[in-house]
């Protein structure tokens, strides 16, 4: 029988109203704290230093942590208000179980554990080990990420574990591994300061990594030229020297043309190319036909601007290239990344002061979480799950036989497809809200309805968890000791500030108890987070992401340590590749051909407009956390359809009018916001909302063949005004001034 979601009314009936604008208890701003703890923000990959204030085991506020060297006390609107989740009345305080026709009801830990473990056993006995899958997330610390990788392989013995980074940084990870054999930003962000030219491609830095702008402004003060590649005139583009306002889905044409221009005009670092790289000739051959005129036609960017960009990049002595999801959320996400790397290698500007390249990591622990075994094809230390030497090493660390270590499993969206096919029958999720964040979410919903058993661990009841049979109340970042790795590659300490409230428990305790009940207690014998970290250090030793030389003590003493850090007396590596010894099999940096291809969805008469999706500054990811903080909700209460005045006029769409947006997947209604800061052929919708407000009703499940990332950034759509004006209570003027 199809499993129905527990609806909102039932939840309110059972657990009280969820009033977004309520002030959680204990937060009056004036409470004298009895504890001030230096830790980090739980949200994005910047992992800004912050001091949390606590009183009577409750977080009551925050203070800037001015000494922390990345953000020097600066915080963005989310960082400032993050503590309002802690005592929020929607916190899950007890394990809950589904009761058919009633909703959820509170239960004991014992019951919730018993039910979950007996269902795991039943499903695996009936359908095989791999029929039970796990989905995880990288808002979790390194310790939790490592433990979950081990739990899925050793306790569940399933190959089907994947994580929400699959929707995020995997295209960059795959590109970096191909080119450098290692997946990390090459330099810490202080090296931005004296870069002569900076390219920011597909990254809305002012809204998504606001504190990083500090380093960009410092570079600007020193005279750096800034080039922004984005279909929208994002806040950063408004002050850039060049804004390349390309058509979504055409990045590889731009980077290929720039490479060809560098070759044609001999703006190359021959010494670097000859001595330290491979694959140059076949790569430049693949773009030799790419003229400025052709590029203008494909990308829609004025060819003069493309030429100026190539000249600036070609002539600079120092430079930094940064990109984020704008170029990575594509069926050719890996190619886009490789196109950028080719430009960096052609000019040899890497491994030197003020010369850097990197993807800007998204989630709080997007960097560390993608190194220690969450991924369906990976083992700790960024080892390969199909490599027999790597398998043997990790099997030894875990005290199991190599043959018992599962092999490569399905990626996140493929797990949903396998549920549809009836191959996966059970699911355990932690720190992931796929119903909002995966593409084509009507299809995801149908998959959840098909599961025989579904359990999840979260501190709020996410939209996905309404389909669960059992929900375990887990912990926030500040409720457990641990470490995370920032976008710079800096491993930092996360401090336990308070205990989980009432009957909620630390995530690691929940995983440990499940492991014990699944019969592998001896493999999960940890007495503290530091214990887990010490095992992780050994598991990562010798891998590309080597943490062996990092200890909790060293992290405290040094404001964090940059990996790789192979020995206890090693200081860490803020800048990679100074020795030019790349981690590829031949020790060279690899050029890779990245020719232009079409996106999976192409425009036609029926769907003539490009739809792209992304973020706003005040909301975070699927919104489970930030949609509960009134002041953030007020900044941007619901998703708006950004549309250029020319396109709006063509379809007779008025400001604040409801518009029906249709793609091959579905139709949905959004309020129009007419802005001149977007291309005339493109509309944009932020994705942080669920249900009828979800942008992911419209997106498609097309994946990059290598990274398996979904193509969130390109859909073909049609628009139809509905003649209804629906004013949103939102101060757009203040929003636009970001
Ligand atoms: N406020 C806020 N901050 C966040 C998050 C959040 O949810 N909210 N999430 C965090 C996470 S996990 C992530 S991954 C990052 C994401 O950070 P970003 O990648 O900066 O965020 P997005 O808004 O997804 O996309 C960035 C830009 O890509 C542009 N774009 C769309 N299509 C294309 C294209 O084809 N080519 C190019 N060059 N650009 C294109 C969009 O116009 C958009 O401005 O943010 C992190 N920080
Ligand atoms: N259309 C479109 N879709 C997108 C994107 C886009 O640009 N456009 N971006 C994609 C990207 S880059 C990303 S990263 C994904 C993110 O998508 P998700 O990972 O699904 O989003 P989150 O909101 O982070 O969901 C995490 C859940 O984990 C919980 N959680 C957070 N921290 C912890 C913790 O420490 N412990 C436990 N137990 N639970 C925790 C939160 O309450 C939340 O319910 O969305 C993707 N989806
Ligand atoms: S920039 Fe990121 S880490 Fe820093 S305060 Fe904002 S959300 Fe938190
Ligand atoms: Mo992300």
Q: What tens digit of pLDDT does each residue of 91-124 get?
A: 999 999 999 888 999 999 999 999 999 999 999 9
pLDDT for position 731: 53
Tell me the ligand closest to 694's alpha carbon: 2
Q: Tell me, in angstroms, the distance from the centre of ligand 2 to residue 627's CA.
A: 13
Q: Per-residue b/e over 144-179, b at no fewer than 16 CB within 10 Å? A: bbbbbbbbbbbbbbbbbbbbbbbbbbbbbbbbbbbb
State in Å: Cα 456 to ligand 1 middle. 27
Say yes or no to pLDDT of 540 above 90.
Answer: yes
Are both 44 and 105 inside the same structural domain? no
**Cα gap 323→163, rounded to integer Å:** 21
Question: Is residue 23 pLDDT above 50, yes or no?
Answer: no
Q: Two tokens at 390? A: 């790597």
Q: How many CB atoms lie within 10 A of CB 454?
A: 25
Read off the pLDDT of residues 237-268 as tens digits, 9 standing for 90 and up: 999 999 999 999 999 999 999 999 999 999 99
Please give the full DSSP string across 556-615, using - where no structure is assigned.
Answer: HHTT-EESP--STT----SS--TT---SSTTSSEEP--------SS---SSS-EEEEEE-
Ligand 1 pocket mutation, candidates 75, 202, 343, 366, criterion most atoms within 8 A of CB: 202
Q: From the CA of 620, how far away is ligand 4's center (Å)?
A: 10
pLDDT at res. 101: 84
**CATH number, domain at 65?**
3.30.200.210
Mean pLDDT, residues 75-98:
94
Ligand 1 lined by 686 (C-beta under 6 Å)? no
Q: Residue 680 C-alpha to ligand 3 middle, in angstroms?
A: 32
Q: Is 578 exposed, middle or buried (0-12, 13-18, 19+ CB in 10 A)?
A: middle
Report angle CA 128, 134, 136 to the nearest 5 degrees.
170
Give dist(CA 511, CA 208) in Å, integer.
31
Ligand 3: residue of 211, 560, 617 to mutate (most ligand atoms within 8 A of CB) is 211
- pLDDT one-digit tens code per residue, 40-65: 999 999 999 999 999 999 999 999 99
- State the closest ligand 1 atom to the C-alpha of 231, by its place in the atom list counted from 1: 42
Residue 5 CA: distances (Å) to CA of 108, 432, 665: 22, 17, 21
Q: Are residues 114 and 60 in the same domain?
A: no
Q: Which ligand is nearest to the CA of 508?
A: 2
Angle at 38 between CA 34 and CA 39, to 5 degrees: 120
pLDDT on residue 631:
87
Within a domain: 42 = yes
Rounded to whole angstroms, the Cα distance separating 661 from 659 reads: 6
The bridge status of strand 132-136 relative to strand 103-106 is unpaired
Spatial separation of the C-alpha atoms in residues 495 and 429, rounded to whole Å = 24
Residue 355 carries which DSSP code? B
Residues 265 and 398 in one domain: no
The pLDDT value recorded for residue 21 is: 34
What separation in Å is there between the alpha carbon of 626 and the centre of ligand 4? Answer: 15
Pairing of strands 561-562, 490-494: antiparallel
Domain end point (choices 540, 562, 584): 562
Nearest-ligand number for the alpha carbon of 458: 2
Task: Give backbone dihedrals phi and psi of 304, rounded to 5 degrees, phi first.
Answer: -65, -40
> Region 371-394: what's the mean pLDDT?
96
Q: Is residue 722 part of a domain?
A: yes
pLDDT at site 151? 98
Residue 520: Cβ-neighbour burial (10 angstroms; 0-12, 13-18, 19+): buried
Which ligand 1 atom lies nearest to the CA of residue 325? 19
CB-based burial label for 680 (10 Å; 0-12, 13-18, 19+): middle
Contacts of 331 (CB under 8 A, 6+ apart): 597, 599, 600, 702, 703, 704, 705, 711
Select from 85, 119, 143 the last residue of a domain.
Answer: 85
Please check whether residues 383 and 511 belong to one and the same domain. yes
669-to-438, 649, 655, 658, 693 alpha-carbon distances in Å: 19, 18, 14, 6, 7
491 alpha carbon to ligand 2 midpoint, in Å?
21
Q: Whose CA is nearest to atom 2 of ligand 3?
A: 44
Q: Looking at the CA of 714, which ligand is closest?
A: 1
State the Cα–Cα distance between residues 206 and 212, nearest whole angstrom. Answer: 8
Pairwise CA distance, residues 488 & 562, whole Å: 8
pLDDT(22) > 80 = no
Q: Judge contact between 97 and 104, C-beta under 8 A.
A: yes
Q: Ligand 4 centre and the CA of 336: distance in Å?
A: 17
From the alpha carbon of 621, which atom of ligand 2 is closest?
23
The Cα–Cα gap between 485 and 492 comes to: 6
Q: From residue 100, how far is each of 2, 105, 108, 120, 435 by CA, in Å?
A: 12, 10, 18, 20, 21
Same domain, yes or no: 662 and 726: yes
Residues in CB range of 557: below 8 A, 6 or more apart: none
- Mean pLDDT calculated for residue range 298-318: 98
Ligand 3 atom nearest to CA at 212: 1
CA of 256 relative to ligand 4 center, distance in Å: 26
H or E stretch including 339? Answer: helix 333-346
Atom 5, ligand 3: which residue's CA is nearest?
A: 79
Residue whose CA is closest, atom 17 of ligand 2?
Answer: 437
Q: Are residues 316 and 180 located together in one domain of the fold?
A: yes
Taking the centre of ligand 3 as the mean of its atom positions, its distance from the CA of residue 45, in whole angstroms, is 7
pLDDT, one tens digit per residue, over 482-531 is 999 999 999 999 999 999 999 999 999 999 999 999 999 999 999 999 99
The rounded Å distance from CA 82 to ligand 3 centre is 9
Give the residue, out of 47, 91, 330, 433, with the most ligand 2 atoms within 8 A of its beta carbon, to mutate for a pocket test. 433
Q: How far is the CA of 664 from the centre of ligand 1 (A)?
A: 23
Q: Is residue 577 part of a domain?
A: no
Distance 617 CA to ligand 3 centre (A): 10
Structural tokens at position 43? 């949200």
- Ligand 3 interacting residues, C-beta cut-off 6 A: 41, 43-44, 46-48, 75-76, 78-79, 209-211
Could you tell me the distance, in angstroms and rounded to a whole number, from the CA of residue 713 to the centre of ligand 1?
9
Q: Are residues 135 and 194 in the same domain?
A: no
**Using alpha carbons only, what angle is made at residue 656 by residues 651 and 661, rounded to the nearest 5 degrees?**
50
Atom of ligand 3 at shortest range from CA of 80: 5
Task: Note the pLDDT of residue 74.
Answer: 96
Given 360, 387, 412, which residue is the final one in a domain?
Answer: 360
User: Do the domain assignments include residue 1?
Assistant: no
Q: Are residues 616 and 647 in the same domain?
A: yes
Question: Residue 642 pairs with which residues in a beta bridge?
Answer: 673, 684
Atom of ligand 1 nearest to the CA of 686: 23
- The tens digit of pLDDT for each residue in 711-733 reads 999 999 999 999 999 887 655 44
DSSP codes joined into one string, 214-272: HHHHHHHHTT-EEEEE-SB--GGGGG-SEEE-PPTT-HHHHHHHHHHHHHHTT---HHH
End-to-end CA distance of the chain: 49
Indicate whether 478 belongs to any domain.
yes
Residue 598 lies in a domain: no
Instruction: Decide: 353 and 161 in contact? Cβ < 8 Å.
Output: no
Which ligand sits nearest to residue 48's alpha carbon?
3
Same domain, 666 and 732: yes
CATH code, domain carrying 708: 2.40.40.20
Q: Which atom of ligand 2 is nearest to the CA of 165?
A: 14
Query: Domain containing 290 — which CATH number?
Result: 3.40.228.10
Which residues, 6 or more positions from 612, have their beta carbon under 8 angstroms from its beta carbon? Answer: 231, 248, 682, 683, 684, 712, 713, 714, 715
On average, the pLDDT of the chain sits at 94
Average pLDDT over residues 273-298: 98
Q: Is the per-residue pLDDT at 329 higher than 70?
A: yes
Query: Going by C-beta distance under 8 Å and a sequence separation of 6 or more, which residues neighbour residue 631?
Result: 77, 81, 84
Which residues have C-beta atoms less than 6 Å from ligand 2?
137, 139-140, 164, 167-168, 325, 329, 362-363, 430-434, 437, 457-460, 462, 474, 476-477, 507, 613-614, 621-622, 624-625, 687, 695-696, 699, 712
| Backbone Cα Rg of the chain | 25
Say if 571 falls within a structural domain: no
Same domain, 160 and 184: no
CB 245 within 8 A of CB 301: yes
In a domain, 452, yes or no: yes
Beta strands 225-229 and 242-244: pairing type? parallel
Nearest residue (CA) to ligand 3, atom 6: 76
Considering every ligand atom, which ligand is closest to the CA of 42? 3
Q: Calculate mean pLDDT across residues 377-398.
A: 97
Residues 260 and 136 in one domain: no
Tell me what pLDDT residue 153 has: 98
Torsion sign, CA atoms 441, 447, 450, 452: negative
Ligand in closest contact with the CA of 137: 2
Output the six-digit token pair for 439: 């593409």
Q: How far, in Å, is the centroid of ligand 1 from the Cα of 300?
A: 21
The answer on 63 and 124 residing in a single domain is no
Task: Give the mutation target among 326, 436, 643, 695 for probing the ligand 1 site: most ligand atoms within 8 A of CB.
Answer: 326
Residue 24's pLDDT band, with cuts at 50, 70 and 90, is: very low
What CATH number should be reported for the domain holding residue 527? 3.40.50.740
Asked if pLDDT for residue 623 goes beyond 80, the answer is yes
Rounded Cα–Cα distance for residues 105 and 399 (Å) = 39
Domain count, the chain: 4
- Residue minimizing CA distance to atom 47 of ligand 1: 208
Ligand 1 neighbourhood includes 325 CB (under 6 angstroms): yes
Q: pLDDT at position 14, please? A: 57
Pocket probe mutation, ligand 3, options 209, 485, 487, 615, max atoms within 8 Å of Cβ:
209
- Write out the residue range of the structural domain in which residue 319 sits: 170-360
Which atom of ligand 3 is closest in space to residue 47's alpha carbon? 3
Task: Report CA 614 to chain centroid distance, whole Å.
Answer: 12
Q: Is 362 in the pocket of ligand 1 (CB under 6 A)?
A: yes
Phi, psi angles (nearest 5°) of residue 97: -125, 150
Quote the pLDDT of residue 727: 80
Return the pLDDT at 323: 98
For residue 56, count CB atoms less than 10 angstroms from its CB and return exposed for 0-12, middle for 13-18, buried for 19 or more.
exposed
How many Å lie between the centroid of ligand 1 and the Cα of residue 70?
A: 21
Ligand nearest to the CA of 255: 1
């Amino acid at each position: 029988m199809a499993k129905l979601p527990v609806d909102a009314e039932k939840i309110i009936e059972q657990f009280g109203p969820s009033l977004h604008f309520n002030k959680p208890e204990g937060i009056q701003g004036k409470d004298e704290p009895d504890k001030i703890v230096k830790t980090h923000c739980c949200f994005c990959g910047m992992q800004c230093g912050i001091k949390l204030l606590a009183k009577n085991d409750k977080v009551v506020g925050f203070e800037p942590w001015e000494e922390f060297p990345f953000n020097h006390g600066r915080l963005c609107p989310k960082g400032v208000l993050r503590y309002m989740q802690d005592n929020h009345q929607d916190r899950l305080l007890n394990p809950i179980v589904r009761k058919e026709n009633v909703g959820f009801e509170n239960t004991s830990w014992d019951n919730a554990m018993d039910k979950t473990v007996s269902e795991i056993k039943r499903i695996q006995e009936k359908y095989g080990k791999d029929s039970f899958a796990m989905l995880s997330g990288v808002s979790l610390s390194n310790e939790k990420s490592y433990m979950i990788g081990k739990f899925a392989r050793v306790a569940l013995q399933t190959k089907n574990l994947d994580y929400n980074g699959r929707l995020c940084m995997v295209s960059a990870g795959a590109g970096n591994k191909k080119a450098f054999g290692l997946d990390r930003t090459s330099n810490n962000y202080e090296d931005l300061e004296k870069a002569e030219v900076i390219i920011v491609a597909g990254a809305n830095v002012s809204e998504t990594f606001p504190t990083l702008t500090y380093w960009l402004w410092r570079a600007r003060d020193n005279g750096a030229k800034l080039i922004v590649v984005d279909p929208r005139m994002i806040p950063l583009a408004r002050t850039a020297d060049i804004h390349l306002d390309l058509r979504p889905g055409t990045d590889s044409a731009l980077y290929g043309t720039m490479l060809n221009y560098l070759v044609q005009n001999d703006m190359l670092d021959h010494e670097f190319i000859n001595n330290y790289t491979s694959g140059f000739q076949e790569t430049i051959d693949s773009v030799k036909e790419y003229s400025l005129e052709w590029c203008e036609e494909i990308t829609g960017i004025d060819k003069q601007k493309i030429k100026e960009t190539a000249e600036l990049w070609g002539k600079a002595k120092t430079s930094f290239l940064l990109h984020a999801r704008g170029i990575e959320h594509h069926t050719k996400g890996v190619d886009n990344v490789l196109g950028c790397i080719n430009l960096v290698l052609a000019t040899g500007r890497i491994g030197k002061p003020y010369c850097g390249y990197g993807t800007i990591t998204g989630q709080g622990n997007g960097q560390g979480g993608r190194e220690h075994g969450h991924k369906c094809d990976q083992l700790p230390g960024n080892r390969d799950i199909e490599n027999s030497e790597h398998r043997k090493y990790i099997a030894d660390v875990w005290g199991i036989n190599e043959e018992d270590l599962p092999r490569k499993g399905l990626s996140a969206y493929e797990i949903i497809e396998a549920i549809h096919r009836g191959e996966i029958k059970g699911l355990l999720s932690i720190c992931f809200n796929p119903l909002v964040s995966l593409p084509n979410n009507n299809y995801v919903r149908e998959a959840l309805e098909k599961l025989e058993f579904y359990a999840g661990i979260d501190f709020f009841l996410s939209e996905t968890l309404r389909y669960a049979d059992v929900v375990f109340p887990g912990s926030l970042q500040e409720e457990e000791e641990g470490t995370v790795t920032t976008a710079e590659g800096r491993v930092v300490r996360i401090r336990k500030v308070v205990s989980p409230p009432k009957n909620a428990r630390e995530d690691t305790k929940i995983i440990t108890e499940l492991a014990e009940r699944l019969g592998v207690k001896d493999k999960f014998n940890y007495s503290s987070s530091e214990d887990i970290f010490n095992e992780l250090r050994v598991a990562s030793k010798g891998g590309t992401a080597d943490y062996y030389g990092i200890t909790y003590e060293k992290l405290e003493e040094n404001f964090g340590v940059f990996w790789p850090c192979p020995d206890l007396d090693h200081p860490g590596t803020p800048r990679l590749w100074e020795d030019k010894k790349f981690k590829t099999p031949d020790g060279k940096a690899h050029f890779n051909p990245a020719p232009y291809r079409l996106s999976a969805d192409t425009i036609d008469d029926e769907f003539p407009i490009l739809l792209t999706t992304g973020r706003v500054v005040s909301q975070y990811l699927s919104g489970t956390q930030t949609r509960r903080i009134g002041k953030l909700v007020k900044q941007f209460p619901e998703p708006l359809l950004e549309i250029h005045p020319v396109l709006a006029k063509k379809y007779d769409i008025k400001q604040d009018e409801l518009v029906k947006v249709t793609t091959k997947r579905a139709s949905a209604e959004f309020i129009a916001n007419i802005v001149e800061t977007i291309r005339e052929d493109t509309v944009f919708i932020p994705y942080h909302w669920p249900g009828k407000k979800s942008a992911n009703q419209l997106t498609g499940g097309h994946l990059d063949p290598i990274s398996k990332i979904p193509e969130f950034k390109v859909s073909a759509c049609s628009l139809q005004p509905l003649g209804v004006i629906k004013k949103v209570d939102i101060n757009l003027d203040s929003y636009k001034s970001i």
